[in-house]
Structure formats: structure tokens, C-alpha cells
Amino acid sequence: MSKRGIALFAAAVGLVSVSTPLLAHHGTSVFDMGKTLTMKGSVTEWNWANPHCLLQFDAKNEGGQVVHWIAETQNPAEMVSLGWGKASFKPGDEVTVSLLPAKNGKPFGRLTLVVLANGKTFVTIKEGVTPKYAVGSSGDSKSENIPAGSK
């Protein structure tokens, strides 16, 4: 094998080893799929970007302290079909947020529902469709995780 061939092989192995962890990106094991948190807060930032949109908001915990939360959705293309958009939220908007929290207790989660102060509701699943993140390893639907009133 020539030096050029060895160099190309080494570069290919390097790229594969660096990119392989990206395949785990779409897992849901970080979220507590059996628990839904609902809280009121104020939007601090709305990131409309791939691979996931992020809603950042401040909410008070039970002790009255303000906690900064970050909640993800699917990608913008999927969110558009559900009525979400780049201008859906702006800093200062008062929201009620339902999310699947991170298992490690950090203020991070997967959005299931957002309601603005004027009553406008944003859902993250289509009615009658079981989302990918709500299907367990056995393939059983876990639709009981969908908050009431999200239709």
C-alpha cells in the first residue's frame, strides 16, 4: 500500500471514529418517558434551528427560585407541519410548558406542549400519531405520557 493509500485510510478511520457518536444523538434515553412536568415561565430565547429547535425559559421551582430551562423539539421541518414557526415565541412571552424531563434532574427536557398566555397552543405530535419518542423498546405505545388537552 502506498503512503497516499495509508494516509487516506487513516483519514477515513479518523472521520468514522469522530462521527460515530453522532448516531446516538437521536436517542431518548436521556428523558424520563414516564414523567411529564408542567410549569409556567417566561421565554428567554427561541432557537429555530437544526437539528432541534430549542425553547429556553425561566420558571420558578417549588422553593420560589428562578430556574433556567432548555427544552428541545424536533427539527423545524417537522415543527412547521404542526403550526410552529420561527416567530412562534419571543423573549418575555409568558408560557405554560409541558415536557419530558431529563433523568439526571438537570433543567432540560423534550417539549410535548406549549401554551401562550392568550391560549394559543403548540403541540409536538399530530393527533392520532404516536411519536417516535413515545414508543418503548417493546414497540408498545406510551400515549399516556401525552398531556391532557394537547389535542
CATH number of the domain that residue 79 is part of: 2.40.50
Residue 55: inside a domain: yes
Residue-by-residue pLDDT tens, the chain, 151 positions: 677 767 666 655 555 555 444 444 556 788 998 999 999 999 999 999 999 999 999 999 999 999 999 999 999 999 998 999 999 999 999 999 999 999 999 999 999 999 999 999 999 877 655 555 444 433 333 333 444 444 3
Residue 46: inside a domain: yes
Burial degree of 37 (CB within 10 A; 0-12, 13-18, 19+): middle
Domain that holds residue 136: 26-145
Give the three cell numbers for residue 102. 431529563
Residue 3: inside a domain: no
pLDDT number for residue 127: 64
Q: Please tell me whether the overall predicted TM-score, pTM, comes out greater than 0.85 for this model.
A: no
Q: How far is CA 45 from CA 21, 68, 71, 124, 135, in A?
A: 28, 11, 11, 18, 30
At 96, phi and psi to the nearest 5?
A: -110, 125
Residue 9: inside a domain: no
Give the three-class secondary structure for 21. helix
* 134-146: b (≥16 Cβ within 10 Å) or e: beeeeeeeeeebb
| Total tally of structural domains belonging to the chain | 1
pLDDT number for residue 3: 75
Residue 19: inside a domain: no
The CA distance from 143 to 120, in Å, is 23
Residue 78: inside a domain: yes
Closest to 27 measured CA to CA, from 4, 55, 45, 52? 52
Is residue 26 within 8 A of residue 73, CB to CB? The reply is no
Residue 4: inside a domain: no
